[in-house]
Amino acid sequence: MSDKLLHIEDLHAEVEGKEILKGLNLSLDKGEIHAMMGPNGSGKSTLAYVLTGRPGYKVTQGKIFYKGEDILGLAPDERAQKGIFLAFQYPTEVPGVSVVNFMRTAYNAIHADEQLSAMKFRMYLQEKIDLLEIPSELVDRYVNQGFSGGEKKRNEILQMAVLSPELAIMDETDSGLDIDALKHVSAGVNKLAGPEVGILLITHYQRLLNYIRPSQIHVLMDGRVVKSGGFELAERLEAEGYAGIAQELGLSVEDVVEVE
């Protein structure tokens, strides 16, 4: 066990009988931003779903400690109540449910001892909207229905601001964003980062890290963290691709890079 905010030991996980994570180790503390990079099929999104307890993702070996507690036996809502948040790569539409009502329900579910009335929650939400410079009318629309890619990701960051997690997992937040939306979303993440939250950024590309500078970068290949380092590692990946790391480690490129 570790006193880190998040500590993962020898994590193995499978989906529909296929092993995806094959002995992953990782530690992350409050105040830190870690980036997890890797090719398609390396297990990045699987890691995010296993951490948040998504059904269908079976842990076969290893442990996940969050604030010193083994959380593998906890349901997704129990993990959320303890301060674990996931920003989805592909946020789901919820027709007929407004963003403001959705977020108030989520807030009250997590803060069972601090239920906010509709008026008080609207005032609290407006503070977060102002902080992140998000158009107020966004929260009166149905959740993600008709949203652009940038609006969906801004909505995810707004949820993060409202719920104030201690561990935020961001699954390919840069996916599908043009440069302006990427800058806006990244600025929001930077505003929410701080000494009371640990952030795990999951991404394919170095471009996100030009705007959100991580304290550590990890390369995930074939279900394992094969290399960790500082920002220079991201720059190397941009120049050489994942094939360069694979060659250095004596790994088969076909094993770590998904063939289209």
* 110 within some domain: yes
DSSP string of 51-82, one letter each residue: HHT-TTEEEEEEEEEETTEE-TTS-HHHHHHT
Higher pLDDT, 212 or 112: 212
For residue 70, pLDDT over 50 is answered with: yes
The Cα 8–Cα 24 span in angstroms is 7
Which range marks the domain in which residue 123 is found?
6-256
* 174 within some domain: yes
What value does the mean pLDDT take over residues 164-181?
90
pLDDT in tens, 231-253: 999 889 888 888 888 888 887 65
* 17 within some domain: yes
The Cα 165–Cα 190 span in angstroms is 14
- Sequence length of the chain is 260
* 35 within some domain: yes
Please report, for the domain that includes residue 18, its CATH number: 3.40.50.300
* 1 within some domain: no
What value does the mean pLDDT take over residues 18-37?
96
Query: Token pair 């020898």 is at which residue?
Result: 10
The gap from C-alpha 39 to its chain's centroid, in whole angstroms, comes to 17
What's residue 258's pLDDT? 46
Using DSSP's 3-state secondary structure scheme, residue 16 falls into: coil
How many domains would you assign to the chain? Answer: 1
For residue 256, pLDDT over 80 is answered with: no
The neighbour count for residue 150, using CB atoms within 10 Å, is 16
Q: Rounded mean pLDDT of the chain?
A: 91
Q: Please, what's the b/e burial string for 110-146 (b: 16 or more CB within 10 A of its CB; e: otherwise)?
A: beeeeeeeeeebeebbeebbeebebeeeebebbbbee
What's residue 157's pLDDT? 95
